[in-house]
Structure 1
């Protein structure tokens, strides 16, 4: 009994030291963005590998797919997990937390940030880096020029907001548009599994139509209105930050409208 108590004390001591090192170094302000980026990349790799293992056992159609179809299957699972994560965090930070609230007397909303908001953006940067790497590797099979433009614009905006702490509110507003990604991926899964004539495929199409309308069109109108109301605060950002806030959402909204109008 004495030995087990001593072992428990030793383990507890190592745990305390590890937590202290994590707080002082890995999660310290200078290192937090880079730790979150690496964590996002590793999370993508883990989801990709787990999807491959689980799908090969539980989905009968998976082994019959071509090599590239299996790659896209795993890649879409990766993007779905990121979309769910970033949508939940974006909705919380924009609408439920008081970090960017106008009622909070904490300076311009364009300059507000927190350790959590910065960490979440870093994880998203990790995803976009991993996904962009796959797009380039398999180009143009995983996505053409429009995907490259979308990812590069997203990377520039998210990385800037993460590193400078500026414009995080508008970055998260744009990231809410990722709420449409799971439905789009599910549509591809249903099509690949031969369920294009099923009721689930029809319902999925309606959900995509409505979610795209809300998250990629109406929400962007709200974003532009918010920028208009807080333009004096936007002007307090650095020039490049102002450019990203004003131009990137505009370009993405045009791309969203083009995709929305395409049959």
Structure 2
């Protein structure tokens, strides 16, 4: 009985506020930032246990190690969502008669873009905080432009299809990050490094 008394207000909070159309952009941004923090912390935890070379790395390299795991996680998430919306979702299908495709959006598409905005905010914050160790001005400009474009599409609902098309390019990010990991742990001359380079080339 006591659990149900808490359950109903909680469900009301989620349905009427957190997942209400007007709140989805802000909820998704917060979720994106929290996911980045969670991935960062878990990476530090698992890396210190399963990678022998991790504890011996300089502090800034350990920070970049965890930062790149966030980048990889975001890339896999947004690539999967982008591929889904561009190729498999009915949202932008010709069979849909919901107005011009340029102005079509859904709660899920908006949430996905919002989570991406959360990532760009978190990553930009880290780049600025550790500047220039995690990237120079080109990284700052890249993130600012990406942030502006994705946020505009998320907030207005305009051009989401084309935004997802561009975000498919995140496919190469895990490979680029893996290349850095292999180089950092001294595997630059390994077959894995060579194969990874070929995969990145093909993906581009």
TM-score normalised by the chain length of structure 2: 0.97
Long gaps (5+) in structure 1:
1-8, 213-263
1:12 CA displacement = 3.4
The separation in 2 between residues aligned to 1:173 and 1:150, in whole angstroms, is 17
Larger Rg: 1
Q: Is 1:205 aligned with 2:173? A: no
Long gaps (5+) in structure 2:
none
Tell me which stretches of 4 or more aligned residues in structure 1 moved more than 2 Å: 12-17
Of 58, 61, 68 in structure 2, the residue corresponding to residue 66 of structure 1 is: 58
Q: Is 1:107 aligned with 2:95? A: no
Q: Is 1:181 aligned with 2:173? A: yes
Q: Is 1:194 aligned with 2:174? A: no
Question: 1:128 aligns to what?
Answer: 120
Q: Is 1:154 aligned with 2:146? A: yes
The separation in 2 between residues aligned to 1:103 and 1:153, in whole angstroms, is 33
Question: 1:25 aligns to what?
Answer: 17
The separation in 1 between residues aligned to 2:144 and 2:162, in whole angstroms, is 17
Higher relative contact order (CA 8 A, sep 6+): 2
1:59 CA displacement = 0.6
Instruction: Write the deviation string for residues 16-62 of structure 1: whole angstroms up to 9, x where unpaired.
Output: 33112110011111211111101111110110011001101111000
Question: 2:39 aligns to what?
Answer: 47
The separation in 2 between residues aligned to 1:187 and 1:31, in whole angstroms, is 38
Of 8, 17, 23 in structure 2, the residue corresponding to residue 16 of structure 1 is: 8
In the alignment of these two chains, the number of paired residues is: 204
